[in-house]
Structure 1
Amino acid sequence: MKKSIYAMALGAFGIITTEFGVIGVLPNLAKVFDVSVDTAGWLLSAFALTVAVSSPFITALTTNINRKLLMTLVLAVFVVSNLLSAFSPNFTVLMIARVLPAFLHPLFWNISLAVAYKESGSKAVSVVMSGVSIATVMGVPITTYAAEFFNNWQASFFLASFVSLVAFMGLLLFVPSMPATRKTTGDSQLYVLKNPQLWLNLVSTILMLAGMFSSYGYLAAYLEKISHMNGTQVSLMLLLFGGMGVLGNWITGIALSRNVMRTTRIFFSLLILVQVLAYFFGGIFIPMVIILSFWGAIHTGGFLIGNIRTTRSVPHSALEFVNSLLTSCYNIGISLGTMLGGLIIASYGVHNVIWMSAALLAVNLGLSFVTFGEKHQATAVDANAEKEFPAPMLHA
């Protein structure tokens, strides 16, 4: 495997760590900047919302720019934005430092996957996606631990900046120049929007991510206030959550290869159950540790489930276009979830945020029984289509 592929995987790790790493230090940031936890949650939701809005447009606006230049530019901006975050004098500056790089986030995602596939096919795509997958489950605990180890919330942003800097140097040294090549798109991909199953799956993906992040986005605050854990214990619990997520992601991949819809319904049911258990036993240390282990193992599978459910309902010729829609849907869901979770916390306290997550996931469970003959439609529309890039998998 070429070194450039691993450099892009590290870049993906740095970018996703920047997006999700703030979760573990939300309570600290709320105290430092004298804002409520639900207000601090906008540091995550505003980032995700910006990605969601910019994703359909930013790639189209940069089609004539060298792809290596764009990827290195994105990482450079993430390096600077994390440093700016670390030195922010107030919450407004911190929010601006978070939002600005989010506009460029989809560029690195889309370009790196396309380049990886052209270089070495699906194997290279899985390597790049492993950076995303690992960051999704490990980015939060390592940035939280950094803040706790140095007893300074700024350390989490310094660490995220350092990771992005290493990836920037890797791209600069190992990725060759890649002049842009204009690609023709249009009705050959847009026609999939007529597929009702696609719209159902996209809506379900948004609601699923909202359900996942309405509680997970405030997990550190939950552990601190309800489980009465100190900073070190919270960082260790987040590390446990992430480590179990890696295992759970692998198990979910195996289960999906056997039966997509059965796995999807089991996922929703188990994630609801484990969070209800956290509500009733969250104040008892040992049971909460066990619950967190299962929660982490279940949680991460949602990204993979959203990808497989959606892309299997469309033809190969439209996968690149649909993946760009998925990027928006993931981030709309994250933004919606953290916003709704924040509203629950503001009105009823952090303990009750579980019920928002459970309600959204229950709606998704119901939607999983609604279909529009997706397999037949996907086969029919693919009959005369050209083959494009395959859908990226969220597990290595």
Structure 2
Amino acid sequence: MLLPILLLAAAGFTVLTTEFVIVGLLPGIARDLAVSVPQAGLLVTLFAFTVACFGPFLTAWCARFERKRLFVGILLLFAACNALAAIAPNIYVMGLARLLPALGLPVFWSLASETAVDIVGPAYAGRAISKISFGVVCATVFGIPVGTLVGDALGWRAAFALLAVLALAKALLLHLYLPRTPRHNQATSLRGQFGILRSRLLQGHVLLSVLVFSGMFTVYTYLADILERLAGFDGARVGWYLMGFGAVGLIGNSLGGRAVDRHPLLASAGFCALMLVGLIALVPSIHSTYGLIGALAIWGATQAALFLVSHVRLIKAAPQAPAFAASLNIAGGNLGIGLGAIIGGRVIDSVGLAGLGYAAAVLIGAAVLLALGLMRMRGPTATS
């Protein structure tokens, strides 16, 4: 049953590239739509906060539907919205083209993860989801840089047109080859799914995701600026470093998939502790080629691992409603992305780019302490 999981990974590549590709296209969008770059940047905030606000509720409601039809429908929605973005005449239409797929992303990611677990069994949840997460990593390694290159060569509209074609093609592949999976009986009960929110342990898991993603994106949002202004790299060299940063994430994705199956919270604490090393070493090693590569490699690998670990951690924390739990992680993660960008901006304004790594390290350090605290809530034999 490897093919269905690979197809879901390929679809995830398109879904996540749609969310993040806009970062490299903002200058061109701003020029063509006659707005400032900060105004165009609100399209990023719109997407992230829409996911955070509506993701859990939409996932709980959509869990009642048959998975194959739902996934095909979401990919068709992404195809239509990317096509709309490609022809958007103004920022308002572009905003609509970003809002609608933001509603579909958490539903797809949460239920695709649940479907993968259904296929392989809960004992191998981490490894199955790591295969789907491979599409996420590839979106970072290849999707975003390639989208930016297409935008530079043919214009930003061509990048969205290409994504529309890819989404349509993957909708067809899912229609042809994805098997039908049974719906979970408890998924039809909205009350049953929202009931898990009463758990203090689950609330702690969601807060942990917010802290982890806030820490990561406090500095990752401005990594290109750090490499240009502090390291003195030109645009081409920055691009190669960013691609390398994503490439080491393939290693982290594999390690995270194995570690989270053994002990989710310990994996969270361990990868966060390793990330601290990379974040703290970033600025001091900025003018040392090998030192900088080492710091970025540690950071990139642990960041990719934590994407996966956080996702599986929530699923295992609420096995009675795994898709809804996954949507809570996605909501918390996107809230963290938005908060991290805001925090990073404030740090730049107050102490400069050199302070970003240390500010992020404070948040990640708090995540380590919270993960250890959640382990004590469950006792020494905790596995989630």
- TM interval, shorter chain, is 0.7 to 0.9
Cα distance, 1:113–1:150 mapped onto 2, change above 3 Å: closer
Which residues in structure 2 correspond to 1:341-356 (within 5 Å)? 341-345=344-348, 349-356=352-359
Cα distance, 1:15–1:273 mapped onto 2, change above 3 Å: same
Q: Which residue pairs with 2:163 in the alignment?
A: 160
1:295 to 292, 295, 299: 299
Q: Which amino acid aligns with 1:319?
A: P
Q: TM-score, normalised by structure 1?
A: 0.79
**2:343 alignment partner, SS class:** helix
Residue 245 of structure 1 deviates from its aligned partner by 0.7
Contact 2:8 2:132 in 1 (8 A): no
Q: Which amino acid aligns with 2:306?
A: G
**1:101 alignment partner, SS class:** helix
Residue 243 of structure 1 deviates from its aligned partner by 1.3
Q: Which residue pairs with 1:214 in the alignment?
A: 218
Q: Which residue pairs with 1:202 in the alignment?
A: 206
* Gap regions ≥5 residues in structure 2: none
Q: TM-score, normalised by structure 2?
A: 0.81
Cα distance, 1:167–1:351 mapped onto 2, change above 3 Å: farther
* Cα distance in 2 between the residues matched to 1:181 and 1:197: 23
Report whether the alignment pairs 1:271 with 2:275.
yes
Cα distance, 1:61–1:378 mapped onto 2, change above 3 Å: farther
Q: Which residue pairs with 1:335 in the alignment?
A: 338
Q: Which residue pairs with 2:362 in the alignment?
A: 359
* Cα distance in 1 between the residues matched to 2:334 and 2:207: 12
Residue 103 of structure 1 deviates from its aligned partner by 1.1
Q: Which residue pairs with 1:73 in the alignment?
A: 73
Residue 102 of structure 1 deviates from its aligned partner by 0.4
* Cα distance in 1 between the residues matched to 2:151 and 2:374: 51
Q: Which residue pairs with 1:326 in the alignment?
A: 329
Cα distance, 1:101–1:124 mapped onto 2, change above 3 Å: farther
* Gap regions ≥5 residues in structure 1: 380-390, 392-396
Greater mean deviation of Cα atoms: 363-372 or 44-53: 363-372
Cα distance, 1:64–1:267 mapped onto 2, change above 3 Å: closer
Residue 87 of structure 1 deviates from its aligned partner by 4.2
Q: Which residue pairs with 2:149 in the alignment?
A: 148
Q: Which residue pairs with 2:309 in the alignment?
A: 305
* Cα distance in 2 between the residues matched to 1:372 and 1:117: 24
* Cα distance in 1 between the residues matched to 2:11 and 2:372: 38
Q: Which amino acid aligns with 1:328?
A: A
Q: Which amino acid aligns with 1:94?
A: M
* Cα distance in 2 between the residues matched to 1:313 and 1:109: 17
The percentage of aligned residue pairs carrying the same residue is 29
Which residues in structure 2 correspond to 1:187-198 (within 5 Å)? 189-198=193-202
Residue 120 of structure 1 deviates from its aligned partner by 5.2
Q: CA RMSD in A?
A: 3.7
Q: Deviations over 1:63-118 (max 9, x none)?
A: 66554333222112212322333444555543432222101222222443444444
* Cα distance in 1 between the residues matched to 2:53 and 2:190: 20
User: Per residue, is there more helix in 1 or in 2?
Assistant: 2
Residue 240 of structure 1 deviates from its aligned partner by 0.9
* Cα distance in 2 between the residues matched to 1:156 and 1:254: 35
Greater mean deviation of Cα atoms: 50-59 or 143-152: 143-152
Report whether the alignment pairs 1:57 with 2:57.
yes
